Amino acid sequence: MAKYTLAALACAAVIPAPSWAQDHAAHQHQATDPAETGPVMPAPGPDSEPPAMHHVPAGYASGSGTSRLPASDAAMGGVHAMSGAWMFMAHGYVSAQYTDHSGPRGDDKAYAVSMAMLMAGRDTAWGKVQLRSMFSLDPLMSNRGYPNLFATGETADGNPLVDRQHPHDLFMELAARIDVHLAGADAFLYGGPVGEPALGPAAFMMRRSARYNPEPPIGHHWFDSTHITYGVVTAGLSARTWQLEGSVFRGAEPDEDRWDIESPRLDSWSVRTTWTPGPAWAIQASYGRIHEPEALHPGEDEHRFTASAHYADGRGLSAMVAFSSKDREPGPVLTAWLAEANWDLDGKNTLFARAENLANDELFPDHDDPLHDRAFRVSKLQAGYARRIRVSPFELALGGSLSAYAKPVALDAAYGTDPWGYTLFARLSLGR
C-alpha cells in the first residue's frame, strides 16, 4: 500500500513562491497584533507552510470541508508549487500499524492506513477559487477494517461492524469552493460529488489535536462520520471572527464498495456556526437532520447536535473538547464526550492523549441476544508518544499508544473485566 501512495505524492514538485506570496509573508511578519492579523507564516518553500489556499480572513485556519481550526494551528503542511496565478499543494501520509486489543472480543492486526490530498487555488479580482481532492488506499484492506474496541458503524459482507474501524473509501473528497468578497465578509459556495457537510468539528485525521494518534475515536460516528459524503452543497458567510453556513447532502453513509463514487442525493441538511475570537480558538456548534444514515437501520433518520472548542497555543499544543448527541427517529438519544490533545515537546518528541465517554446501543447486533439494543456507557482513555524524524520534505514518526477502558459489569462476559489495547505505528508524511 505504501509504495502506491508514495509514488503519487512524489510527483509533486517544490518551487519558490512568486513575489506576491513573498510580499504577503513580509506583511505578516510586520504585524504586531496576532489577534488582529492571524499567525505569522513564512513564504512558501520546501520546509515551510504557506497561508491557506482559499481566502482566510486572519484569525483562523482551514480544516476538513468548510470547517475551521485555530489560526495558531497554521496551514496544512505539504509541498507547494506555483503555475501562473495557481498554487498547487500535495500532502499525505502512509502509516504502517500493528494493534492488539485484549479480552474475548479483542483482536490483533497489522495493516496500513493512508491519505493523499491534492489541491489547487488562485486569487481572482472578486475572490478566490479552490479545487480539492482527497484519496485513500484503505480499500486495499478487508472490508472488516481493523480492531478498535467498542467502535461501531457501517457493515462488512452485510454484517454490522462491531469493535472494528471500517476502512475509508478511495475517494474522500472531490469538491470545489468559491469565495466572493463582500463588505466585511466573504460569501462562499462549496460542494461536489464527494465532500463534507457543515456538521461537527473538523474530521479527526485533519485535526492537529489528533495528528499522531494512530486510532480513530470510538465516537467517530457521533462527531464526524459525515466527512465522506456522496453529494454535498454548502453555502455560507465567512468573516474573521465568525462563520455561518448551511448544507444539503446525502445522508446515507458509504456502502461496502469502497472503490466507486456513489450516486449523489440531497436528502439531508445541516447548519453550523463557528466563532474564532482569536488565533488560539475555534468554537463551533452544529445541527443536522440526516436521512437514513445507517444501512442496518432503514427508515430511521437521525438528529445530530455537536459542539466543540479547539485550542492551539502556537507553540506545539493543540487540544479539543467536544460533545455530540445522536437522536435516532425512532430510538434513544445517545450522547458522547471527547477530549484530545497533541503536544509537540520540541522538534522531535510528541505526546498525545484522548479521553472518550459515550452511550452505545449497537454492541450486540444479534436480535436474539438479551443485550440487543441496550445502551451501555463506555469510556476509553488513551495516551501515546511519537518520535519525529525530519527528512525534508518528509517526516517519519515512530511511536505507539496504550488504551484502557471502563464499562458496566454487564459487559464483562463479552469484553473481560479490564480490557486494554495498544497500537504501534510508523507514519511517513509528506510535509510536517
Q: Please tell me the predicted confidence (pLDDT) of residue 298.
A: 86
Distance CA 62, CA 227 (A): 14
* Cα 228 versus chain centre, distance: 10
Number of domains comprising the chain: 1
User: What is the extent of the structural domain holding 109?
Assistant: 2-430
What are the beta bridge partners of residue 386?
Answer: 350, 399
Distance CA 127, CA 238 (A): 12
Residue that the C-alpha cell 457543515 belongs to: 198
Q: Please tell me the predicted confidence (pLDDT) of residue 431.
A: 78
Radius of gyration over every alpha carbon of the chain, rounded to an integer in angstroms: 21
Distance CA 360, CA 218 (A): 10
Burial of 266 (0-12, 13-18, 19+ CB in 10 A): middle
* Positions in the chain short of pLDDT 70: 1-58, 74-76, 432
| Region for 192 from its dihedrals, namely left if φ exceeds 0, alpha if ψ lies in -120 to 50, beta otherwise | left
Amino acid (1-letter code) at residue 350: T
Backbone angles phi, psi at 22, to 5 degrees: -65, -40
> What CATH number does residue 257 fall under?
2.40.160.10
Q: Please tell me the predicted confidence (pLDDT) of residue 250.
A: 97
Residue that the C-alpha cell 480572513 belongs to: 57
Q: What is the pTM of this model?
A: 0.85
CB 395 within 8 A of CB 359: no
Q: What is the pLDDT of residues 115-171, one digit of tens each?
A: 999 999 999 999 999 999 999 999 999 999 999 999 999 999 889 999 999 999 999
Q: Please tell me the predicted confidence (pLDDT) of residue 267.
A: 96
CB 423 within 8 A of CB 401: yes
Q: Please tell me the predicted confidence (pLDDT) of residue 358.
A: 98
User: 179: part of which helix (H) or strand (E)?
Assistant: strand 171-182
Task: Mention every residue, 6+ apart, whose C-beta is less than 8 A from residue 315.
Answer: none
Give the number of residues written for the chain: 432
Q: Please tell me the predicted confidence (pLDDT) of residue 254.
A: 92
CB 322 within 8 A of CB 329: no
